[in-house]
């Protein structure tokens, strides 16, 4: 039984980094991968612009972005990428906001309380579920996360989005890009950051715009002030330089080098299909273990909606589930702490706003062998904490 104290497993994961962001570096990464970074050079210098353009070109190749979509590297991670478009383009028509976890809820706050748009509908759902996607009105703009990083719930596909929509679809894809199948024909704005499925460095975001999104930016003038780092147009025209390696502000050439290295690895292993297959295989390791477990379950209730990157788990053991919320959270944190001290798994606690439990990153840069080595340790840590709980009773 999982709650019987046992000897610690003999084998530890070779890489104990299972954080959901920043995520594990690609297999084989060392600091020497950054030795070619153009440090000490202006990001406007010709060689530096060429390296930034290389990052954009690799994004298009690896993510299979249509040729007529623009790709830009922008400030402030995925958050910056999402917010600069919300501030620049929302208000032309009503907007439907979809929220089923922390980051989607954050975009709702931005649109309702900061932008204070007059015509906002919120379609939400509790952690572990999706809203009713059939209720979305595509005559309006629609803002949603493809993969809920803090809930482990994703949209299963883009079939619910019509090709002939009138509004724009604005998709926060930060924990989905490179690991899940983004249907760009159904997406007008896509954002992500390198520190998720690429295991890259933080601080910069990527903003991808369809021709329809560009048309909105050039035809709509918001009645609010825009900080410099949010401005995507000048004189009613898109600032094309942003999408041709002329970044809005200074970028880190070390971060650029790391993103290039991660995407070159992705191309070398077989491109997008191979990266998605790695994430699927990683998820399967955890799913097979959960199926055999008598103490843990997925937070996501519908199997078709379970993330293959940010795998969120709840402790379903009856004795733990009977505890009050604070005690349940303390129990989960004790498991996390125990595994951290053993050097087995780092940063696998639930997100602060999410139900208590575990969150294990299973994206493309993680090795399935490390997840296979982790699961016996999860059983072991649970057994130790369950025994301590019984002793204290």
Q: How far is CA 104 from CA 198, 287, 339, 352, in A?
A: 22, 25, 30, 15
Tell me what pLDDT residue 6 has. Answer: 76
pLDDT tens digits for range 49-96: 999 999 999 999 999 999 999 999 999 999 999 999 999 999 999 999
Tokens representing residue 240 in the block = 């094309």
Q: Within 10 Å of residue 60's Cβ, how many Cβ atoms?
A: 15
Strand ranges, E, within 18-99: 70-75, 95-99
CA-angle at 35, arms to 249 and 260, nearest 5°: 55
CATH topology of domain 31-267: 3.40.640
CA-angle at 258, arms to 252 and 264, nearest 5°: 140
Instruction: Give how far the C-alpha of residue 110 lies from the chain's centroid of Cα atoms, to the nearest Å.
Output: 19
Beta-carbon contacts of residue 381 (< 8 Å; ≥ 6 apart): 335, 338, 339, 342
User: Where along the chain do the CATH 3.90.1150.10 domains lie?
Assistant: 271-392
Tell me what pLDDT residue 172 has. Answer: 98
Tell me what pLDDT residue 393 has. Answer: 80
Tell me what pLDDT residue 3 has. Answer: 57
Beta-carbon contacts of residue 361 (< 8 Å; ≥ 6 apart): 18, 19, 20, 21, 23, 24, 309, 310, 311
Predicted confidence band of residue 1 (pLDDT cuts 50, 70, 90): very low
User: Where along the chain do the CATH 3.40.640.10 domains lie?
Assistant: 31-267
Q: Which of 109, 91, 85 is nearest to 99 (CA)?
A: 109
Distance CA 378, CA 7 (A): 12
CA-angle at 255, arms to 251 and 256, nearest 5°: 75
Report the CATH architecture of 271-392: Alpha-Beta Complex (3.90)
pLDDT tens digits for range 353-392: 999 999 999 999 999 999 999 999 999 999 999 999 999 9
Compute φ and ψ for 258, nearest 5 degrees: -70, -40
pLDDT tens digits for range 235-284: 999 999 999 999 999 999 999 999 999 999 999 999 999 999 999 999 99
Give the distance between the most distant pair of CA atoms in the chain.
71
CB 207 within 8 A of CB 10: no
The pTM of this model reads: 0.97
């Amino acid at each position: 039984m999982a709650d019987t104290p046992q000897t610690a497993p003999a084998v530890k994961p070779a890489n104990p980094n299972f954080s959901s962001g920043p995520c594990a570096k690609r297999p084989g990464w060392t600091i020497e991968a950054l030795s070619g970074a153009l440090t000490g050079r202006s990001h406007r210098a010709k060689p530096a612009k060429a390296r930034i353009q290389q990052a954009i070109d690799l994004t298009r190749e690896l993510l299979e972005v249509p040729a007529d979509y623009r790709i830009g590297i922008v400030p402030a991670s995925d958050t910056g990428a999402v917010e600069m478009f919300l501030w620049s383009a929302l208000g032309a028509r009503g907007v439907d906001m979809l929220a089923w976890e922390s980051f989607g809820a954050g975009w709702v706050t931005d649109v309702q309380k900061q932008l204070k748009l007059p015509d906002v509908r919120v379609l939400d759902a509790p952690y572990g579920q999706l809203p009713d996607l059939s209720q979305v009105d595509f005559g309006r703009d629609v803002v949603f996360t493809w993969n809920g990083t803090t809930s482990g719930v994703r949209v299963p596909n883009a079939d619910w989005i019509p090709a002939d929509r009138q509004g724009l679809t604005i998709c926060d894809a930060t924990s989905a890009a490179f690991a899940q199948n983004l249907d760009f024909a159904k997406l007008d704005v896509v954002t992500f950051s390198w520190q998720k499925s690429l295991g890259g460095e933080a601080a910069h975001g990527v903003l991808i715009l369809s021709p329809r999104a560009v048309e909105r930016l050039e035809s709509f003038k918001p009645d609010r002030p825009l900080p410099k780092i949010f401005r995507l147009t000048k004189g009613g025209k898109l600032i094309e330089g942003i999408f041709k390696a002329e970044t809005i502000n200074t970028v880190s050439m070390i971060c650029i080098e790391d993103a290039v290295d991660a995407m070159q690895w992705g191309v070398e292993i077989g491109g997008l299909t191979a990266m998605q297959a790695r994430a699927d295989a990683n998820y399967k390791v955890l799913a097979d273990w959960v199926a055999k477990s008598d103490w843990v379950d997925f937070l996501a209730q519908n199997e078709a909606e379970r993330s293959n990157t940010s795998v969120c788990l709840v402790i379903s053991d009856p004795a733990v589930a009977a505890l009050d919320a604070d005690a349940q959270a303390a129990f989960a944190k004790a498991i996390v702490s125990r595994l951290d001290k053993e050097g087995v798994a780092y940063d696998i606690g639930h997100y602060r706003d999410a139900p208590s439990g575990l969150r294990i990153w299973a994206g493309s840069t993680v090795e399935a062998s490390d997840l296979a080595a982790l699961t016996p340790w999860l059983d072991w840590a649970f057994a130790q904490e369950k025994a301590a709980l019984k002793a204290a009773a």
